[in-house]
């Protein structure tokens, strides 16, 4: 491990808390079965693909007496991008397994799913677990993005588990990773392998959620980190009073992070991609709306402000969305000729000449740097790498062009200077907040109870989490319950459905109710850094999003 900081030493002493049912009964709580479930959509197709795990009941844990267990070996992997609290999931799982039977062992497979396939692991011990409690990052066993989806991979996983005597696998990941967990659970069950598969909900993006998974872990910590940084910039903006700050925030598929940070900090504008898509707003409309805010504030000598932008915005703008699709297709068909061109100007001209008139009209006004990013390197599937498109700079430059056009004929000139930022990796490995430390530990401990109950194909769940920890409800949700069919890479495949911002929900409606006032004034809110020590009303608050959703 790295050198231990004073904060980490102090955090090591923090005792993560459990829901009352687990604190009193440990992993021996009884699994109370609810009614049979069904997938969120495409029921017939999902049932056909997952015949042995479809329709399982949701589970709530209720009081139960300790029971004798034979020693078991379990494996755990971290899958996908990092999220604060992953180590506490492993710690909760480890502690729960040891309470089931002190002879139980936990294998940590290194580097994510590839470690499970290639049999790269460490056996986790008290010393290892204790050194990582309440820490950020995934460096205990590291993560990876290998997909578990082929029969060959499943056979390797099964062979490795049988070689070690492992009878349970816990996959800690987001929607794609838990889609793989669902497929693996079905395969291992159909093969009568005796190997259980349990998932845990991880992603800072907040798009893995439903009635049973009220929030994915890491969202609380990441948004608190970003909100602190946004608040710092707001304080600077309100002090210098000469810059407009355009801040892009992580979250490609959904705008939960941007929305939460807006509720925490009260910026002049927060774009929500889902609203853009619902209203079919064009890029020009978005730029003109932001320009109007700049102009209105300038009339009151307020030549400063903050705009929050979700990372995936560009894919939600209708004409840009279809432009990207045409660009992907065009470049795939003309790749050799395109690659042979000498410079970026020639490549942009090559593409522009071949676009359909409507998409050429959308492409031409874009800043040259954005054009270059749109025609730049593709991912392995031939798609534009949206996270590399500097949307914040694009908006700032287009607003600047609008202001210059207005100033050309105006007597009183509008001052406009911009600064651009992107907050992403800054939040993924932060030391977890008290909320995430407790939530993650509880999810891991719940996973051990699901293993002890003999369940497979489930995701660990803790509900009622806007309340104090002792009031949380621990249980499990069938992975198939979250599935639907989506068209990806030319074929229909089963995936866990992403949860986008609910435009009728209280969090978004709170933004709508306040954004005109925030646009005009200086109602900035400075949340400051995460508080680990102090009164409950300071240290243990859930996110604004979670609070509003449960009013």
Cβ neighbours for 432, distance < 8 A, ≥ 6 positions apart: 84, 85, 88, 134, 135, 136, 218, 220, 221, 440
Q: Which two tokens stand for residue 133?
A: 């409690």
Residues 35/38/44/48 CA torsion (nearest 10 deg): -80
- Residues 15, 434: Cα–Cα separation, whole Å: 10
The residue from 205, 207, 220, 436 that is catalytic is: 205
- Residues 60, 21: Cα–Cα separation, whole Å: 10
CB 112 within 8 A of CB 82: no
With CA atoms as reference, report the closest residue to 457 among 162, 181, 96: 181
CB 372 within 8 A of CB 388: no
- Residues 322, 500: Cα–Cα separation, whole Å: 20
With CA atoms as reference, report the closest residue to 430 among 217, 207, 225, 201: 225
Cβ neighbours for 158, distance < 8 A, ≥ 6 positions apart: 188, 191, 193, 195
Residue 345 annotated as catalytic: no
- Residues 106, 136: Cα–Cα separation, whole Å: 20
Q: What is the distance, to the nearest Å, from the Cα of residue 458 to the centroid of all Cα atoms in its chain?
A: 20
With CA atoms as reference, report the closest residue to 479 among 55, 6, 93: 55
> Which residues on adjacent β-strands are paired with residue 121?
109
CA 328 to each of CA 179, 316, 363, 380: distance values in angstroms, whole numbers, following the listed order: 26, 16, 14, 12
Half-sphere exposure of 201 (CA within 13 A, CB side): 33
DSSP tag of 336:
H
Half-sphere exposure of 398 (CA within 13 A, CB side): 24
Measure the CA angle with vertex 84, ends 16 and 316; round to 5°. Answer: 140
| φ, ψ of residue 301 in degrees (nearest 5) | 60, 30
Strands 483-488 and 458-463: unpaired
* Strand intervals (E) in 392-457: 418-423
Active site residues: 205
């Amino acid at each position: 491990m790295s050198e231990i900081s004073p904060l980490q030493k102090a955090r090591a002493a923090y005792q993560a808390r459990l829901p009352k049912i687990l604190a009193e009964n440990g992993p021996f709580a009884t699994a109370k079965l609810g009614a049979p479930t069904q997938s969120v959509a495409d029921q017939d197709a999902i049932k056909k693909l997952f015949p042995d795990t479809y329709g399982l009941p949701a589970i709530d844990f209720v009081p139960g007496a300790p029971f004798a267990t034979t020693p078991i070996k379990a494996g755990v992997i971290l899958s996908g991008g990092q999220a604060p609290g992953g180590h506490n999931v492993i710690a909760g799982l480890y502690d729960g397994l040891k309470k089931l039977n002190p002879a139980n062992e936990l294998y940590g497979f290194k580097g994510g799913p590839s470690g499970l396939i290639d049999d790269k692991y460490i056996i986790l011990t008290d010393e290892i677990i204790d050194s990582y409690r309440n820490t950020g990052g995934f460096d205990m066993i590291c993560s990876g993005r290998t997909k578990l989806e082929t029969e060959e991979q499943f056979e390797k996983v099964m062979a490795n588990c049988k070689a070690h005597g492992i009878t349970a696998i816990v996959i800690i990941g987001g929607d794609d990773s838990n889609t793989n967990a669902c497929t693996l659970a079905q395969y291992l069950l159909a093969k009568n392998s005796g190997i259980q598969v349990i998932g845990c909900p991880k992603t800072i993006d907040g798009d893995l959620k439903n009635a049973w998974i009220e929030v994915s872990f890491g969202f609380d910590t990441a948004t608190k980190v970003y909100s602190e940084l946004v608040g710092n910039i707001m304080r600077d903006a309100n002090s210098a009073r000469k810059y407009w700050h355009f801040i892009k925030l992580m979250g490609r598929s959904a705008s939960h992070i941007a929305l939460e940070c807006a509720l925490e900090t009260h910026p002049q504008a927060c774009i929500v991609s889902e609203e853009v898509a619902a209203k079919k707003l064009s890029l020009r409309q978005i730029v003109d709306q932001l320009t109007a805010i700049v102009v209105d504030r300038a009339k009151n000598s307020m030549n400063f402000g903050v705009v929050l932008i979700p990372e995936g915005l560009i894919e939600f703008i209708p004409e840009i969305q279809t432009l990207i699709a045409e660009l992907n297709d065009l470049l795939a068909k003309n790749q050799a000729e395109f690659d042979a061109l000498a410079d970026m100007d020639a490549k942009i001209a090559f593409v522009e000449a071949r676009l359909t008139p409507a998409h050429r009209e959308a492409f031409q006004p874009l800043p040259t740097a954005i054009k270059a990013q749109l025609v730049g390197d593709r991912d392995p599937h031939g798609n534009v790498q949206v996270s590399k498109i500097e949307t914040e700079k694009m908006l700032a430059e287009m607003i600047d062009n609008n202001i210059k056009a207005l100033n050309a004929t105006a007597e009183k000139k509008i001052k406009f200077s911009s600064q651009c930022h992107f907050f992403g990796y800054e939040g993924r490995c932060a030391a977890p907040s008290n909320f995430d430390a407790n939530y993650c530990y509880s999810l891991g401990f719940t996973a051990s109870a699901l293993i002890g109950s003999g369940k497979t194909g489930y995701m660990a769940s803790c509900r009622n989490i806007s309340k104090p920890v002792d009031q949380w409800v621990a249980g499990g949700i069938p992975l198939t319950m979250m599935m639907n069919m989506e068209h990806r890479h030319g074929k229909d495949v089963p995936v866990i459905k992403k949860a986008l911002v609910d435009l009728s929900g209280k969090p978004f409606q709170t933004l709508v109710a306040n954004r005109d006032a925030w646009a005009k004034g200086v109602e900035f809110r400075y949340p400051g850094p995460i508080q680990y020590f102090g009164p409950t009303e300071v240290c243990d608050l859930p996110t604004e999003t979670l609070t509003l959703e449960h009013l």
